[in-house]
Structure 1
Amino acid sequence: MARKDVTPRKNNGSFKKFGVGLLGGVLGGMLSIGGIYYATDGFNSSVVEPLTAESTQTIDNDAEISNVKVNVNSDITNAVDKVQNAVVSVINLQTSTQSQWSSPFETQQNDSSELQPTGEGSGVIYKKDGNDAYIVTNNHVVEGQEGLEVVLKDGTKVQAELIGTDAYTDLAVLKIAGDKVDTVATFGDSTSLKVGEPAIAIGSPLGSDYANSVTQGIISSLNRLVQNVNESGQEISINAIQTDAAINPGNSGGPLVNVAGQVVGINSSKIATSSSSGVSVEGMGFAIPSNDVTNIIQQLEDSGSVIRPALGISMLNLSEVSTQQQERVLEVPASVVNGVVVRYVESATPAEKAGLQQYDVITKVDGEEITSATELRAALYKKSVGDIMELTFYRGDEEQTVSVELTLDQTALNEQ
């Protein structure tokens, strides 16, 4: 399978892998005078009120033009009405050194450092608590920030405080004053999503000039493992919802909404091109499922970070080991073609206490087969400190199973 480039959807020049082209004239091509097109396949409860002629105008060639009014209500418009006022633009401010112009009474210019917008994304207000309101967005939207501003639906700009971030799931929580907030979004159950059901993306593609843009599509797939590396070199791994609703730079952090007006995902990235062929790709966006989001943001509110268990091993994919090394060093059966090789075990760790050794090849976690270090790490990060993880592995040609008590977290041990 050809490797794909997955690019975070931040409106920031630093994400250079993603090329953006703004297609002109799209709206003009979609409108036709005197006709209305209703796309109702897959959408329920569309209500179109009768057309009413407001006035009739006769022009020189005796053609008559009627000005008509039509009021269309549908599941889509109702869903957007419920959540749109909770969607915001998030502006990342960083220091920019520039020369200031001298006043007529000054004889020279002075250099000063001030915060300037360096990128924009989206976010959604999900909670109001007393005088404060809380916003969830993507970590890559706020990465490197020295200050944050939030633009509300009505254009009001307010300062925001960064509460916490989690690079691994690409999520962040912000706090703003709640006095101007009157709408809070509601999370839905992402485990109940069905492939083919409608999906609505709301955000600020290309920045706040296009704030609260709405695009619609369907849920294309579920449980897509999407991996990337952020600007700081940290791994991003998301068990994502795939959608064909248009997602562009600036949509990052905005909500993916179902027809009930519930947030079922936070838009994070899209596949832009195939790295092997360079072929452009359209309609492959990815969102962090709402059930994962609610778990992470609660931890970010509580402590500013996410505490994850540590295993205490350095890992290598079995597929990256040559056949000769597998035969001479690992000595695993030829039938074992996927798994995770233990490169070394750190002392006084859960892995060492459970008896894992160098060159063991882990093939299952809790009875489920794994094929890569990414899958092992994803399974580990679903656990909490204090949980038990069952690992099945080969030591030479012998298959064994051990129970590992996850007593350490990553703050005490950084795995490589």
Structure 2
Amino acid sequence: MDNFNQLNPWPVETEEKKRKQGKARLKGFMNTVAGGIIGSVLTITIIPHTDYLENIYSNVETKVSQLSEQPGNARSTSEGITVQKTAAMNNSQGNIANMVEEASKSIVGIVNKQTQSNRFPNGANINDSEAVESGSGTGVIYKIDGNSAFIVTNNHVIEDAEELAITVYGGEQTTAELIGADPLTDIAVLKIDAKYAEKSLEFGDSSTLRAGDTVLAIGNPLGLDLSNTVTQGIVSAVDRSVSVSTSAGNWELNVIQTDAAINPGNSGGALVNTSGQVIGMNSLKIAEDGVEGLGFAIPSNDLVPIINEIMRNGKVERPYIGVGLASLEEIPQMYKQSLPNDVQGGAMVTSIDPDSAAAKAGLQVQDVIVSINDTKVTNSVDLRKYLYSNLEVGDKVSLSIYRGGEKKTIQLTLTSNSKSL
């Protein structure tokens, strides 16, 4: 079975989605654990970054300051939401229970509905279809502004949804509008009518966390029947790095490790400190027999910049080369025979956007990129991280590639596109 579980959606999966579920490797301290990360609390499956590998071989699976003036409601500024200083608190059981009771008012259940065609018993399509539950997860109301309330959750909770059904504290139901999402960091922002929102939670400063700090996870494990479940644990470690496979390509998430119990359905839920501030968004767990208490949350300090950009632009703008990639280690040997023996790593171009900078610069399918701006590329994640962390739209880059056995240099200027590279 898979070792990691991005808090798999609960509970409905089609056979097609099961087939598409991706794998990824956990890095850093977990490098001895084999396996992959599979779709988070919701059940939306990961879409392969490219179908090139399926075309060439079939046995490889492709693989988120000052305190508010109104307590509990995030203050809007020209720069968007911010993290807040953590206030001191008497951590008695009574105070924690009071905090949880208030924080739970900002937690929502999210049901991802997708259209399913009805069929006759013989398999023929009936000329009607309906939106049915494809999976469910959790969200956090983080801002109330006028007539609107805003929710943050995991992208995999809402991905491919045709309708997003929201259940708020107290059981009222409504539908949400998708403001925008970023598959790479697994973050999405939704909007509902403010009349359904009782309060919002502010973000605490995750950079102040230390191993041993008390944290609580609030969410909807196994679906809405267990809504607003609270579990308590500690921060087990900070600054962990986990490799995940997303619909925008492979990525390494910076995460908080916790032993607070999180389960399928918790994805997108709040990891809060004892002051009732969101310091992380529950997104991943290890799912392996004999392993307990290894859950992971995206830190609040990583969430806030992405949320603010989604609020401004509806997406996260990143520099764009215009290629699909596969790590060289994933490519069958027959496609690497012309490479020099000393080329042990790199990223193979598997597809090219015909209107992209890559196409204009002359990149070709099966080119192997081994460096970008003289920085070594050992796999597709290396290239993506350098591109997104060090470069901006409009920058000029130099790619060292192997085309067959010949080494070449390709110069291009980065553009912007909603696609992943």
Q: TM-score, normalised by structure 2?
A: 0.66
State whether residues 199 and 257 of structure 1, in contact with CA within 8 Å, keep that contact through their aligned partners in structure 2: yes
Which residue of the partner structure matches residue 144 of structure 2?
Answer: 128
Whether 1:228 and 2:242 are equivalent positions in the alignment is: no
Residue 355 of structure 1, CA deviation: 9.1
Q: Deviations over 1:285-314 (max 9, x none)?
A: 222232332222233333333332112445
Give the direction of change, closer, same or farther, for the CA distance of 1:191–1:238 in structure 2 (3 Å limit): farther
Residue equivalent to 1:13: 12
Q: CA deviation at 1:323?
A: 8.6
1:378 equivalenced with 2:385 (yes/no): yes
Q: Is residue 362 from structure 1 mapped to residue 382 from structure 2 by the alignment? A: no
Residue matched to 1:331: 340
Match of 1:83 in 2: 103
Partner of 2:161: helix, strand, or coil?
Answer: coil
Q: Which has the larger radius of gyration?
A: 1
After superposing the two structures, state which structure 1 stretch, 293-302 or 117-126, moved more. 293-302
> Taking structure 1 as reference, are residues 346 and 117 closer, same or farther at Cα in structure 2, changes over 3 Å only?
closer
**C-alpha displacement at 1:137, in angstroms?**
1.4
Could you tell me how far apart the structure 2 residues matched to 1:324 and 1:92 are? 42
- Distance, in Å, in 2 between the alignment partners of 1:370 and 1:259 is 42
Looking at structure 1, the residues matched to 94 and 213 of structure 2 have their Cα atoms a distance apart, in angstroms, of 19
**Equivalent pair of 2:111/2:136 in contact (CA under 8 Å):** yes
Question: RMSD of the alignment, in Å?
Answer: 4.2
Instruction: Quote the residue 2:253 is aligned against.
Output: 239
Count of aligned positions: 342
Change (3 A) 1:197 1:366: farther
Show structure 2 runs of 5+ residues with no match. 22-37, 40-87, 120-125
In structure 2, C-alpha distance between the alignment counterparts of 1:118 and 1:316, rounded to whole Å: 29
Give the drift of 1:89.
Answer: 0.9
Aligned residues of 2:281 and 2:298 also touching (Cα < 8 A):
yes
Question: 1:181 aligned to 2:181?
Answer: no
Q: 1:206 to 1:343 in 2, by over 3 A?
A: closer
1:313-348, CA deviations, whole angstroms, 9 ceiling, x for partnerless residues? Answer: 45443434689987x73336x4x6444356788778
1:305 corresponds to: 315
Q: TM-score, structure 1 length as denominator?
A: 0.66
Among the aligned pairs, what percent are the same residue? 38
Structure 1 partner of 2:297: 287
From the superposition, tell whether residues 95 and 356 of structure 1 become closer, same or farther in structure 2 (CA, over 3 Å): closer
What CA deviation, in whole Å up to 9, does each residue of 1:67-96 have, x standing for no partner? xxxxx335x446535532111111223446
> Structure 1: which 5+ runs fail to align?
20-42, 48-71, 100-109, 274-278
Task: Summarize the Cα distance change of 1:125–1:389 in structure 2 as closer, same or farther, 3 Å threshold.
Answer: farther
Work out the CA distance in 1 between the residues paired with 2:261 and 2:396.
Answer: 39
Q: Which residue of 1 aligns with 2:76?
A: none
Partners in 2 of 1:395 and 1:389 — Cα distance? 20
Is 2:91–2:274's contact at 8 Å kept on the other side of the alignment? no
